[in-house]
């Protein structure tokens, strides 16, 4: 067993991947502590499965207690204080020191930042919010549904559009679509601005299904008395059901640590190093330049795991890193009818994103299922 200590804050897409990468390489001879305030992991996309009644909350909640990766110790605790200079972390379950610290705490959601959202709308980006929407949709008798993005950046840019397509499918199956309207409201000019082919396919699907598209609209607040969205130009749009993407922020403990600049942690886009020695940051908590999505957090994590491994193997911190981050990820987008589209996209600093969009099919739906299943095996050690 090496006395080299790796401390990973956050057991989401990024944190789980770093832990698994190091465990697979070193087995029990590495000392990895993985900390999360939750006792379970939920894939972002599973929120939609629960919202639309395809799976239960229990079925998509993967308990960290089941992690059987050699060398990995999971600690359920809330991180209260991070000293990135000393690589010292205080949690409500004890204090930790590290040779290498990986900050993978994701983004927090702040529904209260949009006045009226908590009182009269339903956010579907937290687990609790998405799971609660399931009951709301079950009880919905038809009417005007507005799906609104309150601010940028936000996780998984296709998710609000996927939600609109799945609301259409849900209401159609219940015979409620004809007495309903569905509208999508976003501050951006296109559903997924970096991906024109994906945006075109989404807008074509909206047009086919009679879903309204309202780009470049900035939501100021919800007027709970009038059940209306109020925009920044004081114009309004009424709804019977508002499904919202709340404002995203870095977790306060990260902001308080001094790691952030303009709200997020800046990192070297090739190495994921922060400006603090021995401290990496990956995923949604960074401003690395990729969208906030699990696949990108995972790709960044594999680079960090390799860099830490090289450092452990060489016994020196000045070792050359084996591989740099390539900004690539494969995203799956629900189009309804158990079909899924696939986007293979690369984000490189100083270049326009490039990649390929493959239209929705049942084959990609199966591929997406396999994507999730393979991660559970790799991260949790389950067979
Ligand atoms: C509706 C929806 C659909 C999505 N669909 C997709 C998709 O199809 N594909 C895709 O790639 N991505 C998707 N995403 C986005 C994806 O879920 C996130 O981008 C991804 O989880 C980010 O990974 P991360 O490791 O950076 O952070 P996270 O996975 O969010 O992990 C951060 C962890 O840190 C923990 N944490 C935070 N603060 C503290 C603290 N103070 N103390 C202790 N623990 C703390 C949290 O509990 C959490 O487990 C979707 C998201 C949503 C909301």
- Is the CB of 246 inside a 6 Å radius of any atom of ligand 1? no
pLDDT at 292 over 70: yes
341: β partners? 333
Nearest to 359 by CA among 328, 383, 337, 381: 337
CATH class label, 111-248: alpha beta
Q: What does the pLDDT read at residue 383?
A: 58
pLDDT value for 71:
96
* Tokens at 144, concatenated: 């005007």
* Closest Cα to atom 17 of ligand 1: 44
Return d(Cα 102, Cα 87) in angstroms, integer. 10
Residue 61 three-state SS: coil
Question: Distance (Å, rounded) from C-alpha 8 to C-alpha 337?
Answer: 39
pLDDT at 382 over 80: no
Structural domain spans, the chain: 5-107+250-324, 111-248
Long-range pairs for 317-322: beta carbons < 8 A, 24 or more residues apart? 317/277, 317/278, 321/271
The ligand 1 atom at the shortest distance from the C-alpha of residue 291 is 19
Q: What is the pLDDT of residue 91?
A: 98
Mean predicted lDDT score pLDDT of the chain: 97
* Same topology between domain 5-107+250-324 and domain 111-248: yes
Is there an atom of ligand 1 within 6 Å of 22 CB? Answer: no
Give residues with Cβ within 8 angstroms of 199, minimum separation 6.
190, 191, 192, 193
Q: How far is the CA of 298 from the centre of ligand 1 (A)?
A: 11
What integer is the mean pLDDT of 166-171? 98
Is any atom of ligand 1 closer than 6 Å to the C-beta of 291? no
Ligand 1 midpoint to CA 214 (Å): 27
Q: What spacing in Å lies between the alpha carbon of 236 and ligand 1's midpoint? A: 32
Q: Which of 18, 37, 44 to mutate to test the pocket of ligand 1 (most atoms within 8 A of CB)?
A: 44
Global pTM reads 0.98
Instruction: At 90, give phi and psi (nearest 5°).
Output: -110, 130
Residue 317 confidence class, pLDDT cut points 50, 70, 90? confident
Instruction: Compute the distance between CA of residue 211 and CA of residue 98 in angstroms, rounded to an integer.
Output: 51
**5-107+250-324 CATH fold:** FAD/NAD(P)-binding domain (3.50.50)
76 lines ligand 1 (CB under 6 A): no
Q: Is 48 in the pocket of ligand 1 (CB under 6 A)?
A: yes
């Amino acid at each position: 067993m090496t006395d080299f200590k790796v401390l990973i804050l956050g057991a989401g897409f990024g944190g789980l991947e770093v832990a698994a990468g190091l465990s697979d390489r070193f087995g029990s001879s590495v000392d990895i502590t993985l900390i999360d305030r939750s006792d379970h992991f939920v894939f972002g996309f599973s929120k939609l499965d629960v919202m639309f009644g395809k799976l239960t909350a229990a079925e998509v909640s993967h308990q960290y207690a089941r992690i059987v990766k050699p060398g990995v110790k999971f600690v359920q605790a809330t991180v209260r204080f991070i000293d990135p200079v000393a690589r010292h972390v205080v949690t409500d379950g004890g204090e930790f020191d590290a040779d290498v610290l990986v900050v993978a705490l994701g983004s927090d959601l702040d529904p209260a930042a949009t006045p009226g959202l908590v009182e009269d709308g339903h956010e579907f980006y937290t687990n609790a919010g998405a799971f609660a929407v399931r009951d709301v949709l079950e009880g919905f008798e038809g009417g005007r549904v507005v799906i609104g993005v309150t601010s940028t950046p936000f996780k998984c840019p296709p998710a609000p559009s996927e939600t609109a397509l799945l609301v259409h499918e849900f209401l159609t199956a219940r015979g409620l679509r004809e007495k309903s309207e569905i509208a999508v409201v976003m501050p951006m000019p296109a559903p997924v601005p970096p991906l024109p082919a994906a945006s075109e396919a989404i807008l074509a699907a909206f047009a086919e299904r009679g879903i309204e598209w309202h780009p470049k609209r900035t939501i100021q607040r919800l007027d709970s008395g009038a059940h209306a969205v109020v925009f920044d130009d004081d114009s309004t749009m009424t709804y019977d059901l508002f499904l919202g993407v709340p404002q995203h922020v870095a977790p306060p403990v990260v902001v308080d640590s001094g790691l952030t600049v303009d709200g997020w942690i800046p990192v070297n886009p090739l190495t994921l190093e922060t400006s603090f020695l021995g401290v990496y940051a990956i995923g949604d908590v960074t401003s690395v330049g990729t969208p906030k999505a699990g696949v990108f957090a995972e790709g960044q994590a594999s680079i960090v795991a390799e860099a830490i491994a090289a450092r452990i193997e060489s016994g020196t911190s000045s070792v050359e890193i084996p591989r740099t981050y390539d900004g690539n990820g494969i995203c799956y987008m629900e189009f309804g009818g158990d079909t899924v589209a696939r986007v293979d996209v690369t984000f490189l600093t100083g270049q326009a994103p490039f990649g390929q969009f493959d239209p929705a099919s049942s084959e990609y739906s199966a591929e997406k299922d396999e994507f999730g299943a393979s991660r559970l095996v790799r991260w949790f050690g389950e067979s």
